[in-house]
A = this chain, B = another copy of it.
């Protein structure tokens, strides 16, 4: 980014240096005939000088077009940025198409703005280097659902600032907020099993960040980089095996992102198998809604022919046709809690690093029903 627009170069004789502001505190001071300190006080400590002088200073500043004390210089000197950095799972723009991320940011900003803190959204997609993280002028970080081995996360760790982790990774010594994914997923799967479903299918988040899309073999399932994926998979599996269903028989369709298009694609893949599942577990509502569309598209009835369970309970879930059975997690509240934890960490640096596990609940709606008798075993 070129910066020359707000700068001017000093006379040619000048020793080469950084870009120079058009007008600084010094200029005002000189013009008014006071010291730099006094001008600074005019801005930051109005009570330290006479009203008359202050007005004279502010007037001169206006005349010269002085933009006010330079924020970077200010921040350097004071050691405070008045802002908080946020890194999110995917690209920034993706976050704005993901209801779960949006709800999180809603809760987070609600808390932070109450304290006058700005929120710096940092581009941290897997493909980018961590420069933006290293250059972020912030007082602390919020890490939202990032892979364990992510370079941005490492860079944040090195920054050594108060950091709150959401969902993932779990970082000892740092505040954490999330839900218990394994039991939540297990309950979702058990629900299908209890309805008599024996042929299950799963639509999963990526196991690795290698761009794979399709069936996840045992090897991939063994080592998902994201804990959310790992735990939900384990939960589904636990319930299936508890019901005597061999996990090897359960197709796990891995998809790159959590959106309806990917869900649709995965749904088609699952439902056109030779022996298609009658119960499908999706790791997010976005994916689940896509699966329902896929069933529709294939002329299958939900829940008549196939039951679908989501995860998150985004606002659209309840309004869908049929309304989606899903695992509800407190999306906005997670953001609020993350905000609270960070504020706490900023105010009391030395204090304990709390872990807050929020409750989930299986919400039964219209997208699941008893398996046909013929489909049971």
Instruction: Show the binding face of A for B, using Cβ within 8 Å.
Output: 1-7, 18-19, 65, 67-83, 85, 91-93, 95-97, 102-103, 105-107, 109-110, 112-113, 115-123, 125, 128, 131-132, 134-137, 139, 158-162, 346-350
Beyond A1-B117, A5-B162, A6-B349, 4 extra complex contacts between A and B, CB < 8 Å: A67-B158, A74-B135, A93-B107, A118-B123
**Top 9 A-B pairs, shortest CB-CB distance:** A5-B349, A96-B106, A113-B123, A93-B110, A19-B79, A92-B109, A3-B79, A72-B76, A119-B121
Interchain Cβ contacts under 8 Å between A and B, 18 examples: A1-B80, A1-B82, A1-B115, A3-B78, A4-B349, A5-B346, A18-B78, A71-B135, A72-B75, A72-B76, A74-B135, A83-B120, A92-B119, A93-B110, A95-B109, A113-B123, A116-B128, A118-B120
- Select the residue from A81, A85, A121 with max chain B CB neighbours within 10 A: A121
Q: Do residues B70 and A1 form an inter-chain contact, with CB atoms below 8 A?
A: no
Residues from chain B with Cβ under 8 Å of A82 in the complex: 1, 132, 135
Smallest CB separation, A90 vs chain B (Å): 11
Q: Do residues B67 and A346 form an inter-chain contact, with CB atoms below 8 A?
A: no
Residue in chain B with minimal CB distance to A121 = B119
Alpha-carbon distance between A161 and B117 when the two chains are bound, in angstroms: 21
Smallest CB separation, A158 vs chain B (Å): 6
Q: A18-B79, A79-B7, A132-B82 are in contact. Are A72 and B118 (CB under 8 A)?
A: no
Residues from chain B with Cβ under 8 Å of A125 in the complex: 113
Smallest CB separation, A349 vs chain B (Å): 3
Residues from chain B with Cβ under 8 Å of A134 in the complex: 68-69, 71
Residues from chain B with Cβ under 8 Å of A350 in the complex: 5
Alpha-carbon distance between A307 and B76 when the two chains are bound, in angstroms: 58
- Select the residue from A1, A79, A103, A139 with max chain B CB neighbours within 10 A: A1
Residues from chain B with Cβ under 8 Å of A105 in the complex: 96
Residues from chain B with Cβ under 8 Å of A121 in the complex: 109, 118-121
Smallest CB separation, A73 vs chain B (Å): 5
Residue in chain B with minimal CB distance to A157 = B67
Smallest CB separation, A323 vs chain B (Å): 13
Q: A5-B350, A19-B79 are in contact. Are A96 and B92 (CB under 8 A)?
A: no
Q: Do residues B68 and A72 form an inter-chain contact, with CB atoms below 8 A?
A: no
